[in-house]
Amino acid sequence: MKVYATVNDVALGPDRIENLALRAEQLGFDGLVVAEGVHDSFVLAALALRATERLQVMTGVALAFTRSPMSTAIAAWDLASMSDGRFELGLGSQVKGNITRRYGMPWSAPAARMTDYLGALRACWRAFQSGERLNYHSEAYTLDRLQPFFNPGPIAQPDIPVYLGAVQPGMLRVAGCHADGIITHPTNSSPLCLRERLRPPLDEGTKSKGQANGPAVIASCFVATGANAAAVAAEREQLQQLLGFLFSTPQYWPTLELHGWSELGEKLLAATRAGDWQNMAELVNDRVMDELVFSGTHDELAPLLLDAYRGLATGITLRLSADSPGNDEGQVADRGLAGLVAGLQAG
């Protein structure tokens, strides 16, 4: 199983991403997923790739509909070229409000538009690599002008993997048919959710393409771990607050419904509207935490995760801090984390 590090601080920026990437590489991670929340994910990916030698770096996920397919194609092409193929492109649609009101860009049916987007993106890459005429026409995009002066030309590693961040069935079908992999959202990464909600539409998309093997699945599961029980408890407390915040969003309620907790989402939304942040965390009780969060020390966790995701995911993510404590306790924790990563990879 592949193991990707994720940034545990969404505000972590260009001034610190190189240290985190180097730390991930030193601890043995296969890859690093850089988010697009506060900072540009392509900038973060470039810095992470420059700081490392073997680490895969994935945008997780770059917002597709805020960029033209050509802009994304060129950025990904440059990153793949500079890293000898270590770049993986993760794309997502985001929600309508963010696209139209935060970025001021138009919105349309996301699954159909993402299908067009991926087609346009790959048409650009084919034109870059082979010099063939760019001639892509779809409902959402027309790209038929690429003078030789603007063509970046062929690279040694042109087959850039494309992962989609997919939550809804329509986008999962698109991923099954047109993507190399998916990276799940933390709220739909439980084994039950993967089995019951994600795999059916994903497999449907794969079959529609006439293929037997579907895309890779990177599960962004909730994990509370550490060198000892106290560290695990501290992580669980942080995740309890995060789950309260995330599941106050109605788009993520299908997971709660699947687990039989339909009323929890309504209570969390009401707490959000009342500004009752403390009560939000308390609403996420131990029953919810035990079902959605994998908890255990570094030397306990690998068998739990491997048993849970065997046959469901080809990789998982683990949160990683940018800086390792320089004291003896921090070094012990790092050795334990490296052991956990190695144990998952061996499984």
Q: What contacts 263, CB < 8 A, 6 or more positions away?
A: none
Encoded amino acid at 139, one letter: E
Encoded amino acid at 317, one letter: T
CA 282 to chain centre: 27
Strand-pair partners of 219: 316
Domain with 311, as residue range(s), is: 2-229+296-346
The per-residue pLDDT for range 145-162, each reduced to its tens digit, is 999 999 999 999 999 999
Q: For the chain, what percentages of helix, strand and coil (3-state, to nearest 5) are there?
A: 50, 15, 35
Indicate if the pLDDT at residue 326 is higher than 70.
no
Nearest Cα to 129, choosing from 91, 80, 88, 164?
A: 80
Residue 305 lies in a domain: yes
Per-residue pLDDT band for 325 (boundaries 50, 70, 90) equals: low
Per-residue pLDDT band for 327 (boundaries 50, 70, 90) equals: low
The full DSSP string for 95-157 is: -HHIIIIIS------HHHHHHHHHHHHHHHHHHHHH-PPP-EE-SS-EE----GGG-----S-
Element housing 89 (H / E): strand 87-92
Element housing 183 (H / E): strand 181-183
CA distances (Å), 19 to each of 59, 171, 197, 321, in order? 17, 34, 37, 10
3-state secondary structure of 172: helix
The per-residue pLDDT for range 264-309, each reduced to its tens digit, is 999 999 998 998 887 888 999 999 999 999 999 999 999 999 999 9
Average pLDDT over residues 248-254: 89
Predicted structure pTM score: 0.94
Q: Distance (Å, rounded) from C-alpha 38 to C-alpha 51?
A: 21
pLDDT value for 278:
78
Residue 228 has φ and ψ, to the nearest 5°, of -150, 175
The position carrying tokens 């962004």 is 220
Residue 155 lies in a domain: yes
Residue 271 lies in a domain: no
Residue 12 lies in a domain: yes
User: Cβ(240)–Cβ(281) under 8 Å?
Assistant: yes
Residue 82 lies in a domain: yes
Average pLDDT over residues 197-209: 94
Q: Distance (Å, rounded) from C-alpha 331 to C-alpha 209?
A: 48
179-198 as b/e, with b when 16 or more CB fall inside 10 Å?
Answer: bebbbbbbbbbbbebbeebb
The tally of domains found in the chain comes to 1
Residue 281 lies in a domain: no
pLDDT value for 213:
84
Query: Residue 25's domain is classified under what CATH number?
Result: 3.20.20.30
Residue 309 lies in a domain: yes
Residue 235 lies in a domain: no
Higher pLDDT, 334 or 135: 135
Q: What percent of the chain has pLDDT over 90?
A: 86
3-state secondary structure of 297: strand
pLDDT value for 81:
98
